[in-house]
Amino acid sequence: MRISRTAHTTIPQRTTLKPVSGNNGNNSTNNKKTVIRNARLVDGSGAPESLNDVTFQDGIITAIDPAAKAPTAHAHRVIDADGLLLTPGWVDIHTHYDAQATWDPWLTPSSWHGVTTAVMGNCGVGFAPAQEDRHEWLIELMEGVEDIPGSAMTEGLTWGWRSFPEYIDTLAAQKRVIDIGSQIAHGPLRAYVMGDRGAANETATAEDIALMAKYVDEAMAHGALGFSTSRTPIHRSKSGELVPGTNAETNEIFAIAEAMNKHGRGVFQFAPEHKILPTDEWPWMREMAARNKNVTVSVNLNQDDAAPDVWRTVLNELTRAQNDDLNIIAQVAGRSIGVLMCLEGSFHPLAFHPAWQQIAHLPLNEKVKAMRDPVLRNAFVNEIPRDNGFFEGIVLSRLWKMFPVTDANINYEPDPTKDSVDAIGKATRVNPMDLVYDQLLSNNGRGMLYMPFFNYSYGDLSMTHELLQHEHTRNGLSDAGAHCGAICDGGMPTFLLTHWVRDRQRGPRLNLEKMVQRQTRKTAEVYGLLDRGLIAPGLRADLNLIDFEALSFGMPQMVYDFPANGRRLVQHAKGYVGTWVNGTQIVASDEFTGELPGQLLKG
């Protein structure tokens, strides 16, 4: 069968594998030879796709042959891919599984979406190092910054460590489905070294700094992939405190970067305040990169409505820095960072209305019952609160970017002039707040509205389109495992293929090979994980076999499967015919095989 690059519509839709020989699709043995034949190979290098056979054994890719030409006589298992897409496993460098990884071997949603390697310890929050009396405080910090339910972490976190190396050892001793690696985070480090002074963001003394550098050095020696910090006032603990390190002076962060540099590697990752990124942060970033040639300075880059064009300046600065041989990259999202608003979630329009106080304490079914009362409805829909413009600012002025979620494949690039509650209201002569109300009440109170938060100032994804093509940006910011009550972007790698390569309507699409490269080899390289992200002999057999035509998202839903019945928004994927980690199949036809081959990565 001949597969042309553009004619993906000719590929038959299939969701199950046909084993040609050997045992059934749940084979887990990774030390025996497996051949995947007739795959539409996109190898992660950016090279044009080709039809090939891929052979692997002992977790390592051993051969790539022309289609139907690989020797199969001694293969334990032969899979006829019949033109399904074969890519390296996704490498997601921006997750927040720091707590979840200690109790949950499955690391969903990432593992549903073809991610085979996840990097955590981002944005300055994490759980090591930690004195025993800091546990509760660290949980509150994580709950505030990343919206992970505190009670779930209190019940679920296994603890049993103080130092970062002990944390790494704890993780390394546990089984899990995919590979993870961690960075040491500034928040816990500063509190560990400086106690309450560190937590309160007081200036670090020379001794404090020396001690922080020492612990970073120790963490790197024990396999930390880097260091992370937060410099944005958005990130606050549950009680409103800034993440420790937010206001850290340059002598402190330079000493930390220097400690990493000695190890010949390491990423300095941080979340900035976007408005002031080019002016206030860029000078020290350049200096840090100039002094520490082995360190990669990685900054989150999003578009903030308050400063919608700053990203252009940042891209120019990025190119200038790289031209000056400074190792600075910007981490970008594959789409808008959007909030899924629902009655069970952390954030929805009605919660900002005073009438919410009447029902906030009720369980969902009683909320729904109460909301069917016309008097209450009238209050929510027609009474504008007298709160000095707060409700107006946070809800009414944003109706143009609130979009009803009506099917599983949410439109992540909706048109505000047609698809928003504001636009629908105008077109149908219905008060948009009535639409908001009915949408949240639909599906027995489980209805959702999507509201892009970052990266949608222009009302489309044209900015993201440009970011995804820039040479010095890297894909990240899925925040998988975090923002459980409002955001579910762990599926961003899937979205790269569904939206950017296949489905986009509101502008040009992007190249399949480039998008695969960006989510595999390019992200692996940021952390020096050179044994993966590419399908080539000698590299790890981390693979995704994808039904590209059928690849899609499930309906986002709130589930209560965290410890202490903690809630989280999840969204499944459909179309991952097979996912292999280190040669072992972990997913077959979108279901786990039960295998847990994941390892703790050490830098």
Q: Which residues bind Zn ion (CB under 5 A)?
A: 122-123, 479
Question: What's the closest the beta carbon of residue 534 comes to Zn ion, in angstroms?
Answer: 26
Comparison of 339 and 441: residue with beta carbon closer to Zn ion: 339
For 278, the token pair is: 């080019």
Question: DSSP for 482-548?
Answer: --TTT---TTHHHHIIIIIIII--SS----HHHHHHHHTHHHHHHTT-TTSSS-STTSB--EEEE-T
Question: What's the closest the beta carbon of residue 408 comes to Zn ion, in angstroms?
Answer: 26
Contact 282, 238 (CB under 8 A): no
Count Cβ atoms below 10 Å from residue 132 Cβ, excluding itself. Answer: 8
Q: What is the DSSP letter of 561?
A: E
Comparison of 117 and 122: residue with beta carbon closer to Zn ion: 122
Give the C-alpha separation, 586 to 171, whole Å.
19
Comparison of 479 and 547: residue with beta carbon closer to Zn ion: 479
Q: Phi then psi for 142, rounded to 5 degrees?
A: -65, -40
Contact 75, 34 (CB under 8 A): yes
Give the C-alpha separation, 385 to 353, whole Å.
7
Comparison of 52 and 237: residue with beta carbon closer to Zn ion: 237
Give the C-alpha separation, 523 to 517, whole Å.
8
Give the C-alpha separation, 558 to 568, whole Å.
6
Comparison of 92 and 479: residue with beta carbon closer to Zn ion: 479
Comparison of 233 and 283: residue with beta carbon closer to Zn ion: 233
Question: What's the closest the beta carbon of residue 51 comes to Zn ion, in angstroms?
Answer: 39
Comparison of 423 and 526: residue with beta carbon closer to Zn ion: 526
Count Cβ atoms below 10 Å from residue 66 Cβ, excluding itself. Answer: 10
Give the C-alpha separation, 394 to 432, whole Å.
15
For 12, the token pair is: 């038959």
Give the C-alpha separation, 54 to 50, whole Å.
11
Question: What's the closest the beta carbon of residue 481 comes to Zn ion, in angstroms?
Answer: 10
Question: What's the closest the beta carbon of residue 60 comes to Zn ion, in angstroms?
Answer: 32
Residue whose CB is nearest to Zn ion in the complex, by number: 123
Helix axes 421-428, 432-445, angle to 10 degrees: 110
Q: What is the DSSP letter of 125?
A: -
Buried b (16+ CB within 10 A) or exposed e, 484-494: bbbbbbbbbbb
DSSP E strand stretches across 150-225: 179-182, 184-185
Question: What's the closest the beta carbon of residue 487 comes to Zn ion, in angstroms?
Answer: 10
Question: What's the closest the beta carbon of residue 237 comes to Zn ion, in angstroms?
Answer: 15
Comparison of 95 and 544: residue with beta carbon closer to Zn ion: 95
Q: Which residue has the tokens 């594959």?
A: 334
Comparison of 311 and 454: residue with beta carbon closer to Zn ion: 454
Comparison of 124 and 566: residue with beta carbon closer to Zn ion: 124
Question: What's the closest the beta carbon of residue 231 comes to Zn ion, in angstroms?
Answer: 12
Question: What's the closest the beta carbon of residue 246 comes to Zn ion, in angstroms?
Answer: 14
Quick check: bond before 109 cis, omega within 30?
Answer: yes
Question: What's the closest the beta carbon of residue 453 comes to Zn ion, in angstroms?
Answer: 13
Is the four-CA dihedral 575, 581, 582, 584 of positive or negative sign? negative
